[in-house]
Amino acid sequence: MKQVKPSFIGAKTLCALALMGAFSAQAQAQSSVTIYGRVVAGIDFQTNAGTNGKGSKWSAANNQWGTSMIGFKGTEDLGGGTNAFFLLESGFNSTKGAFNGTDTSNNALFNRRSYVGLSSASAGSIKFGKNLFINNDVWFLDPTGQQAIGTSVLVNGRNWPGASNVIEYNSPDMAGFTVNLQTSLGEKAGSFNGGNNNSAVGGSSDGRKDGISLAYQKNGLELRAIYDVVRDANGNYDDLWKHSKELILGATYKYDKLKMFVGYENLRAPNAAAGAPSRANHYWLGANYDVTSQLQLVGAWFHVNANNASVSSTGVGNGGGTANLYMAGINYFLSKRTLLYVDVGTVRNGTGAGHILENGGDNGVSGLKQTGGYFGIAHSF
């Protein structure tokens, strides 16, 4: 699930409605509500896009460069350095006007985030509700900023899910160090680690999810380590790309106009079926280069190697094996809130693997080779 790019999202702050009564003036001074969002749309093209790995496809692009969304957030000063806050955010398909799906259903109103919490500069913050899962912090290590052609592709979207029933703690900045902790309760009676099957309403069958994200940022350098687990409805790790243990390590370094990225991801599913992939290693390198204040170049290479690669008698791969993904892009900023984007990529799968070019998935076509890209406009408010 793509995150908001901090350098690009603007926000228009509205004063909170005045409360009736004796506390009206104080409430106006201490509270605020912000409406923000982004709309992304364009054109997308892919070769070998059919279910059998054949046929080219032209389509409208909506969430490839980044998620179209609308959100509401607010804070209240409680005094003594303590604040209450909330955030409600929904992603949508700009070319069809429909809500995006979520981990619990396809018709959730606030399908990305909906939480409330307390914060202080000295103690950090705690929030309760729904959020992106903690491994979405891979955004900080992704040269593409979690585009459709990015870190999610060769792990079938394992590193950008949502999380419901969340309890989350974010530490204050401690001389450049930060610690984030998150748990997502499965809410299954009689099983602390299990969860409910939401497939009937277009959701997942995840059990409890837990994770930690550690970061150090100083003088243009960022180091980050993320560890998380996503269990199935029975509390097990039965699918490498859905219900598994994940470790992400990476670094970025900004020097003048150049920002460099390096990342590593390890996945393990100890309860996977015999013969199915149960381990994978994912590596990437990339860079952003600001040619001018308006023109930015993006480039990245990704590689994955999963064990137990095999092909059935009917030619269907099991998702194991190796694959490489190459990506190049251009961002041209017309203003602080509006940009034009052009991105192209190609994925080259080995025997057993059938990773598709965009968003993360495997169509079962062993050795799939797919090329494509997208271009369009992104406007934030």
| Residue located via tokens 């998380």 | 228
Model pLDDT, residue 14: 35
Q: Please say whether the dihedral angle defined by the alpha carbons of residues 312, 314, 317 and 318, taken in this order, is positive or negative.
A: negative
Model pLDDT, residue 126: 98
Model pLDDT, residue 29: 42
Element holding 27 (H helix, E strand): helix 24-30
**Angle at CA 86, nearest 5°, toward 17 and 185?**
150
Model pLDDT, residue 306: 98
**Pairwise CA distance, residues 49 & 36, whole Å:** 34
Q: Within its chain, how far is the Cα of 29 from the centroid?
A: 35
Q: One digit per residue, pLDDT tens: the chain, 381 residues? A: 555 444 444 443 333 333 334 334 444 446 899 999 999 999 999 999 998 899 999 999 989 999 999 999 999 999 999 999 999 999 999 999 888 877 777 778 999 999 999 999 999 999 999 999 999 999 999 999 999 999 999 999 999 999 999 999 999 999 999 999 999 999 999 999 999 887 776 677 799 999 999 999 999 999 999 999 999 999 999 999 999 999 999 999 999 999 999 999 999 999 999 999 999 999 999 999 999 999 999 999 999 999 999 999 888 999 999 999 999 999 999 999 999 999 999 999 999 999 999 998 999 999 999 999 999 999 999
Dihedral angle computed from the Cα positions of residues 137, 163, 169 and 158, in that order, rounded to the nearest 10 degrees: -30
Identify residue 379 by its one-letter amino acid code.
H
Model pLDDT, residue 360: 87
Identify residue 93 by its one-letter amino acid code.
N
For residues 58 and 81, is the Cβ–Cβ distance under 8 A? no
> What token pair was written down for 233?
């409805």
Q: Is 366 helix (H, G, I), strand (E, B) or coil?
A: coil
Predicted TM-score (pTM) of the model is: 0.90
57 CB neighbour count, 10 Å cutoff = 12
For residues 86 and 40, is the Cβ–Cβ distance under 8 A? no
Q: Is 258 helix (H, G, I), strand (E, B) or coil?
A: strand
Model pLDDT, residue 107: 75
Model pLDDT, residue 202: 66
**Pairwise CA distance, residues 26 & 16, whole Å:** 11
For residues 60 and 46, is the Cβ–Cβ distance under 8 A? no
